Each structure stands twice: as structure tokens, then as C-alpha cells.
Structure 1
Amino acid sequence: MAKFAKYQRFFQLQTKDAAGIDYPVWRTMYAATGREGYPPIAVVFNGRMSTDALYHRMRQVKELSQEYWQGRYHAPYDLYGKAATDGYWDHRTAIPVIVTTLEQLAQRGPHAPIWWRYGHEAWEPILTALANPDNEDAYRVREQERRRQEEERDRLRQAECDRQIEQDAVRERRRKKEKKRMRALIALWNEAAGALQVD
């Protein structure tokens, strides 16, 4: 794990740009990728071991190097200070570590789904392995969709309330109309009963 620590120290080194602003030294050596975080480290496992032994070694390296590749999890708080149920991983200070075996690399080539990115679940093509699908941008998309769904639920609740108010108003108009009709019938009845008594 000493190598990961050396890489991390190197990635944290700063220099000054022409304007005197701190700038990471590694940015002067690596082209921008559009991904957050440090440049990736690819580890190719080889040796006179069985496939199971190689995969076991990969898992051991994963566990021992977790502090370098994992990133930090952020769970934003809601309006009431309660932790949200969703969040994102910040990979800006994480070193992406992708691993494979020399046998897979030789047989299938570097663009096949032979890479396991520590923190991902499956073997992936290299560009997919280097992506951060659970980052802040993905969280913002999910959050926007949650808001859209909540607005739709609010709209439907309001429409149901409006419909209920309209139904209540229609019932009230019918009740008043029926009451008025009953009064008219009673008045006719009383008038007819009064006419019978006079005769």
C-alpha cells in the first residue's frame, strides 16, 4: 500500500501557475479527462497462481487500499436537519484503481470488459470502469427527478382537492335547488289545501 500512499502524496503536491494561484503538480503532466479526481492507477495481476488466487489477491488489495480509492460519501440534509436517504460519492480526492489480470488483458485486449474498478460491482470496459456513476452530478439528476415527481404528486393532490371542492359545490347547488323545489311544492300544497277548505 506504500505505492498508493506515494501516489496520493504526489497528487496532493501544489505548484503556482502564472497568476500565482496554487495548482496541482500532476495537472502539468496529465491531460484533462473531464472526470473528477486524480489520474487512475491500473494494476495488472500476474503470477503463477490459479485464477481464484489472483482474484483473492485483488480483493485483498481492494480492502487494504480502500482509503485511497473510496472517496467520501455525502448525504445532504433535508429542511428539518434529517439526513437524506440518498447521497453521492465525492471522488475528487480519490485515486481510481482499476485491476485486471495479464491473461485477460492478453486474450481480450484493453477495451473489453476486463477491468474491475474498486468500488464498482462488475467487470467493465475501461471507460465505464473509470466513470463515477454515483457522483454529485448523478445525485443532482436523481434529486431533480424526485422534485419533478413531488411536483406531479402535488399537482395531482391539488387537482383531486379541486375536483372534490367542485363536487361539493355541485351537491350544495343541487341541495339548494331541491330545497327550493320542496318549498314551492309545500307552498302549492298549502295553497291547494287552503282552496279545498274554502270550498
Structure 2
Amino acid sequence: MWKLTRPDNQHDKLTRDNLLDLQDHQLVRIESVQDDQRQVWVLTARGHQEAKRLLEPKGIRVSVLRREKYHPVTGALLGGSYDDHAAAVTSTAAELHRAGIGHRLGFQTEVAHRLGNGYVQRADLVMRAPASGVPVMLLEIDRRSEDAHDLVHKLRRYWQWGRMLPPGTDKYTADLARSRPDAIEHVDHEKRLWRRVYPPTGREGLAPVAFVFADTTEAKVANTVAVLEEAGRRYWAPRRYDTYHRGITARDYGQAVPVVVTTLEQLQEHGADAAVWRRLGHEGEVTLTAALDNSDGDALYRRQAARADAEEKQRRDAEREAQRPVCTRCGAKFTDERWEETSMRRRRWEAGDLGVCAACHADDVAREQAAAEAARAAAAVSAEPEADDGQEPGGLRGLFRRRA
């Protein structure tokens, strides 16, 4: 609570005094004390009602009331279950907030994600930090109380939830999604259920998931991450782009769940904004935004595809240039227009000699036109009648005159 509400304070006195004041007004109570003397504070029934009245009109969901439980024999107050886990979840949110990642009202715990079979996958923590480059991230806090394969099942459920369609989907899209198992991959993310719940991530793929390990050893973390990488590959791993281009090394993250891992101890020691996050499928630890970015994804593909298109165009142009005809008379290469004129059947009738270039063809046309003009002039001269001094024009008129 201290780190989450007052991250800049060097001690927790202010937070403790506020909790004590709330306790005096019967709004909060101490549920249990941890082994390290940390106290677990929860809302009373009165405090829970007050919190709902203040927060729910603002769209802030309040968790369920943790009721007091007493030992049936001794009557002693019993601490609630999952105290250590709840403390780890709150500490994770506090470390993220302390590093400037996410507003304190941008965190929600136990957020339900209902699958098609009715199963509800609850995220330990959901963070919305658009100002930090992480519009949404689902966090699972594991104190090694779960088997590694249980975490794989959680990852699978988040992947399945990201492929669901919302109620009221149009018939065409619904029929397309049911047509075959992978048809949902052709449905844009904007039409899926998860986009009605969370904002766009600004990156390819589904909503990212973070596994934060707490109160465990490095060896156990390494073993768990190895199982996540191997058994959960179908859900986090990118695919090859379906393209005719060659030499494309970029990967398609469009249907993958970005998964990052870290430990609560690293967050507390170095800060959540430090290089303490590792992306499954990548080596080394980087900052959170660097881990979520797909450096070998869509941006790289567009660059490589553009370069491949340019190289393909150059190759086709070179091949075409090598096939360009050469004039049999002067040795000049055909222009594109002359090449088209001699190649297209509907234009060959006016192309003349198919083996000569445009300039030589123009010379041929000029000579033909000159010869035709000369022939017409000669024909016109030979068609003129010879002069006759004693005969008037018009043969019939002369005949009639002789009869008279």
C-alpha cells in the first residue's frame, strides 16, 4: 500500500497513519501478519460498502469482500487464504507504479476472462499504462505454488480467449470463424472479443501476458521458464510469413501472445523500468517496452518486402532488357512503343518490317509516302488530254455541228 500510494516517500509512516485512521472509523482491519511482520489490511463490510459507493460510479471495480472467519473451537480470528500471494500481487503493482509504469488506478486484480466452455480464467493483475507504452498487460504472479504445466494451461486459455468472437457478431464473420479451426486467424482483431475489453496494444498479436515469479529460487524460475517456452510454443511463438518473397527473416506475430517473464525480487532491486524482463523466444533481459516490441515482426517484414519488391523489379527489368529486339538495319534497340507495336498482333498490320526500329520504320514510311506521291503526280500528268486547235471541247457538240 505504501509503495502503491506514495512511491516517492522514503518510509511508510503516512500510509500507516492513514490505515490506522481508517481502522478507527471501522473501515479497514488487519487480517493477518506475515512472517516478515508485514501486515495484511482488508476492508470491513462497512469499508467495502463505502468503497463501492465512491469508486464504482467512476468505473473502478471493487474486489469482493473478505469476510472475517473464526476458529470453530477457539474463536480466534483466522487469516484469509492466499495472503502471501495477494501480497505478492500488490507488491508487483507497487513496483510497477513506483517505476512510473501505470497509474495506481490503472491496476485491477482478479479480472475474469470467460471462455467459450464457461471456464473463467482470472488474471492476478491487469495493468493499463498507455503513457508508458503498455496500453494493457495481464500479469500472473507465481510463488511456485503451481506446477509449470499449470502456467502453460493458463497461457493456452489466454490464447483461446484472444481468439473468441464477441456476442452479436455478424453472421458472415461467425460462419467464417466456424468454417475451420484456423479461420479465426483471418478475422481482424478489431472484430474479436478481446478488443471490446482492452484497448489496442500498438503491437502485433494478442494482449501480452507477464509471469512474475516471487519467493523462489533462480533454478526453479529457470526450469519453469524452460517448460513455458517448450510446452507453450504454440501460443507465444511467431510464424513464418506466408509470402512469395525470398530472403524474408521477419516473423508474423499476428496470432501470438507476447509473453515476458521476471521476478519480484528483480523488480524490487533494480526497478520495473530496468532491464529485468525477458521475452520468451529471446535471449537476455531488456526493459519492458523493448521486450514487448517485435523487432523482427511486421516493421521488419515491410522493409524486407519492399526491398524484395525492388530487387524483383530490377531482375524483371534486366530480363526484359536482355530480350529487347535490336534493329537489323542500324543495330539500335527498339523503344518500348516500337517493341509493343511489333509484338501485338492487332498492331502488326501497320508495323511494317518487324525487324527494324522505329527510326528506320519511319524512314521506310517516308520513302513509301514519297514514292506514292511521285506515282500520283505521274499518273495525274499522263491523264491530261493533248491540245486540239480545231476542235472545241466536248466531242458530242462537235459531231452535232458537222451534221448541221
The corresponding residue for 1:3 is 154
The corresponding residue for 1:76 is 243
**1:63 offset after TM fit, Å?**
1.3
The corresponding residue for 2:10 is none
The code of the aligned residue for 1:47 comes to D
Q: Is the contact made by 2:274 and 2:287 (CA closer than 8 Å) also made in structure 1?
A: yes
CA distance in 1, matches of 2:169, 2:214: 44
Q: Is the contact made by 1:75 and 1:85 (CA closer than 8 Å) also made in structure 2?
A: no
Cα RMSD over matched residues? 2.9
The code of the aligned residue for 2:206 comes to Y
Q: Is the contact made by 2:239 and 2:251 (CA closer than 8 Å) also made in structure 1?
A: yes
The corresponding residue for 2:304 is 142
CA distance in 2, matches of 1:77, 1:151: 14
Which residues of 2 match residues 50-199 of structure 1 at below 5 A? Answer: 51-74=218-241, 76-78=243-245, 84-145=246-307
CA distance in 1, matches of 2:290, 2:160: 26
Over the matched positions of the two proteins, sequence identity in percent amounts to 31
Q: Is the contact made by 1:15 and 1:25 (CA closer than 8 Å) also made in structure 2?
A: yes
Larger Rg belongs to: 2
> TM-score of the superposition, structure 2-length normalised?
0.33
**1:75 offset after TM fit, Å?**
5.8
Secondary structure of 1:100's counterpart equals strand
Going by fraction, where is helix more abundant, 1 or 2? 1
CA distance in 1, matches of 2:235, 2:295: 18
Q: Relative to structure 2, which stretch is displaced further, 36-45 or 22-31? A: 22-31
**1:7 offset after TM fit, Å?**
1.0
Residue among 165, 170, 180 paired with 1:14: 165
Q: Which has the higher contact order (CA 8 A, sep 6+)?
A: 1
Secondary structure of 2:260's counterpart equals strand
Residue among 174, 178, 198 paired with 1:30: 198
CA distance in 2, matches of 1:134, 1:40: 17
In structure 2, runs of 5+ residues without a counterpart are: 1-151, 174-190, 316-404
- Structure 1 residues 130 and 48: alpha-carbon distance in aligned structure 2, compared to 1, 3 A threshold: closer
CA distance in 2, matches of 1:76, 1:105: 41
- Structure 1 residues 152 and 9: alpha-carbon distance in aligned structure 2, compared to 1, 3 A threshold: closer
